[in-house]
Structure 1
Amino acid sequence: MKEKNKWLWSHRTLANLFVVLVGIAFYLCLSNFDLVRGKVAEVVKIFTPFIAGFALAYLLNLPMRFFERRVFRRFRARRGLAILASYLLAGVVLAVLLGLVLPQLVQSVMALAANVPIYLRNLNELLDFVIDKFHVDEEIVSQLGMTYKEIVQKLTAIVTAAAPQLLNFSVALGSGVVTGLTALISSIYMLAGKDKLIFQLKKVVYALMPTPKAKRFLSVCGHANGVFAGFINGKLIDSAIIGVLCFVCMSLLRMPLALLISAVVGATNVIPFFGPFIGAIPSVMILLIVDPWSALWFCILIILLQQFDGNILGPKILGDSTGLSAIWVLVAIIVGGGLFGFAGMLLGVPAFAVLYSLSSDFIAARLAARGVDAAGEPLQPPQEKTEEERAQ
């Protein structure tokens, strides 16, 4: 009887049972994906302040390490001074952006809203000129868009419907302030005690897993951290440079709303591959209303910037941080964006890069165990060195 119970509860039996349960759970999750995603969204909403705090601490970890190792390395309280310097640096950058960019953005938006009737009248005059010049059927033109009165009526209806939402906006703003303060405080605690947190996590890993597997798992985590940190920091720097270049070029070409459109282009450029086009579409629509010729020149400018970013600037800053080809980058963006929205489009590429690296290592190990190479040919045994090579 004891032998039978020992066989029933052997490690192999438990492992097989665990695999079966995981497979069943995975099938149920796929069958009820919308329900699972809704429940996950509810849980994520609860932990949003701590997730935002972790993201802030992750972004500020690089400058904190620089201050700790280069500037305050001789001070006893170098960690606290480094954290203070990092947040002061972030605050100064944010204040400069808000002080210089935000007023001009608000001014541009207000000017755009105030001059919408003039812009629409000019657009109607341009359409009339095109109709008379090229003898275009008016019915075809009318089917392509709404008239001036219809647009004004739509805008009025939108403003009227949005007015009762001001109270909800104020409540959401207050909740956002509380969430932001919680995220800020939690990020400070994470940066201050990151060594202790990492040590505790390593202790849990070594306690729950065999030592070789634990070391392998921690090695994978270190690799993933390097990929994510290099990609995110590099992409932020790359997007900031593209935004500045767009502003400079638009200013030199005397295009309207240069700061507003450059901010949109720089913000959307953090999304790989599709970012420049996502920012260019609304920008072209705005310029098409304000100045159609500027919209044409802007299309040429954004194509040149995208080529410069994709072939020169991006590779210089990011290097080969992901190791993915263009097709896999496209797959990662589409799948990540479809599952998790904007965050999935941004983080899908480094996440897929880690999975791609792990699968490549697994396939290489399996091929080596079978004694064949990637082409299916037998592996050549390592050649012994000659006496001359050994002497060298």
Structure 2
Amino acid sequence: MSLQRQVFFWVGALAAFILFLVVFRTVLLPFIAGMAVAYALDPVADWFERRGFSRMAASLIILVIFVLVLVLSFVVLIPVLLNQLAGLIERIPTYAQQLQGLANALLSSRIGDLFRVDAAQLQNSMGQLMSQAASWLSTLLKSLWSGGSALVDIVSLLVVTPVVAFYMLVDWDKMVARIDSWVPRDHVETVRMLARDSDAAIAGFVRGQGLVCIILGTFYGLGLALLGLNFGLLIGLGAGILSFIPYVGTTIGFVVSVGVAIVQFWPDWYWIGAVVAVFLTGQFFEGNILQPRLVGASVGLHPVWLMFALFAFGVLFGFVGLLIAVPASAAIGVLVRFVIARYLTSPIYRGDAGVADDD
């Protein structure tokens, strides 16, 4: 009965937590961002403490440096990015028409005869597809540009996130100690072991992937801008930031940049190839240098399960779900591996023969 009560309690607590996320998902972004910032900067605060600073002083120094870097970045980049975003929104219909015209020209040439396709029917289908895609993307960007909710989200991120991060950074060790004091004493060592494993997995992703995003965004943005690609800085930085969500940032950045490059540079294939080379080079460094050294295999998730987690958390919790999908999945993975290890050593798996061998 004691085991049943524990199971019911933890299942109920999990259900209540999920319900809380679903109900308040529209206002959680700045708080989750603040928690992520505090979690990522906690080792820096510990470093200051080891050198004689109080926790309050260390947190204040980190907050000031963080806000200064953030403000300087926004002052330097935001005007340029906003101008590029406005220009991209304005040119999306033109780009769609030009891409459709290039595709029609290719289908009307020997390429269409070679593959024996019905050029007229395919052109009509491609035209409808391009129009729908351009309309959807234009509507999305306009809503991001002028939507009141987006403005509120940006203001809340800039104002609420640093405040939340500061207070959580000051009280981080106290919060961990308080939560530890709530753990049932009979299971405290097991819970601490799981917490350490989860912390190692999540820290490897949050801190490591954050650096990967900064490096990739800088590389893509500068690379595309130096090639003279229209809106290259915006596309490159956006691809780098979205790389926090595995596979999504690089895919979107590659598709958008190649589409813009085809319209801008056609028929100069070498410039289009140079844009492709920027992303291939970034992927090479990410896969062979950045990910192994900064993130490593600490998350411990198969790519298929990772994609499932992104879709599942995205559907349940929206954009906030995409941000927490990988860290939450890493923690769930630790719990699943623990349960499987316990199962493999239990009589349920080993049966009577395993019990007899132990005897």
Q: Same fold (TM over 0.5)?
A: yes
Instruction: Provide the secondary structure at the position in 2 that maps to 1:145.
Output: helix
In 2 relative to 1, CA 202–22 (structure 1 residues): closer, same or farther, beyond 3 Å? Answer: closer
Structure 2 residue aligned with 1:145 = 127
Structure 2 residue aligned with 1:307 = 284
Distance 1:238 1:56 in 2: 15
Q: Which amino acid aligns with 2:46?
A: R
Work out whether 1:284 is the aligned partner of 2:262.
Answer: no
Distance 1:244 1:336 in 2: 28
User: CA offset at residue 233 of structure 1?
Assistant: 0.9
In 2 relative to 1, CA 325–46 (structure 1 residues): closer, same or farther, beyond 3 Å? Answer: closer
Instruction: Provide the secondary structure at the position in 2 that maps to 1:81.
Output: helix
Structure 1 residue aligned with 2:37 = 56
Distance 1:377 1:17 in 2: 29
Which string of whole-angstrom CA distances, capped at 9 and with x for unpartnered residues, describes residues 31-84 of structure 1?
xxxxx9777432445666544433332233233233333xxx234xx3222112
Structure 2 residue aligned with 1:358 = 335
Of structures 1 and 2, the one with the larger relative CO (CA 8 A, separation 6+) is 2
Instruction: Provide the secondary structure at the position in 2 that maps to 1:243.
Output: helix
Q: Which amino acid aligns with 1:364?
A: A
In 2 relative to 1, CA 15–184 (structure 1 residues): closer, same or farther, beyond 3 Å? Answer: same
| Structure 2: runs of 5 or more not aligned | 113-118
Distance 1:213 1:38 in 2: 26
Distance 1:96 1:341 in 2: 30
Which string of whole-angstrom CA distances, capped at 9 and with x for unpartnered residues, describes residues 110-151 of structure 1?
444566677567556645643554385345323311599x79
Work out whether 1:317 is the aligned partner of 2:294.
Answer: yes
Work out whether 1:272 is the aligned partner of 2:250.
Answer: no
Identity of aligned residues (%): 25
Q: How many residues align?
A: 342
TM-score, normalization by structure 1 = 0.69
Distance 1:362 1:118 in 2: 55
Q: Which amino acid aligns with 2:126?
A: L
Instruction: Provide the secondary structure at the position in 1 that maps to 2:229.
Output: coil
Q: Which amino acid aligns with 1:107?
A: N
Which string of whole-angstrom CA distances, capped at 9 and with x for unpartnered residues, describes residues 8-53 of structure 1?
xxxx3x6446657988x79xx7xxxxxx977743244566654443
Contact map agreement 1:101 1:259 (CA 8 A) in 2: no
User: CA offset at residue 234 of structure 1?
Assistant: 0.4
User: CA offset at residue 259 of structure 1?
Assistant: 0.6
Residue correspondence of structure 1 range 76-155 to structure 2 within 5 A: 78-113=54-89, 123=99, 126-127=102-103, 129-130=105-106, 133-134=109-110, 137-145=119-127
In 2 relative to 1, CA 286–196 (structure 1 residues): closer, same or farther, beyond 3 Å? Answer: same
Q: Which amino acid aligns with 1:216?
A: T
Aligned-residue CA RMSD in angstroms?
4.4
Q: Of residues 205, 210, 233 in structure 1, which corresponds to 2:207?
A: 233
Distance 1:111 1:64 in 2: 42
Distance 2:152 2:349 in 1: 63
Q: Which amino acid aligns with 1:322?
A: V
Distance 1:172 1:350 in 2: 25
Structure number with larger C-alpha Rg: 1
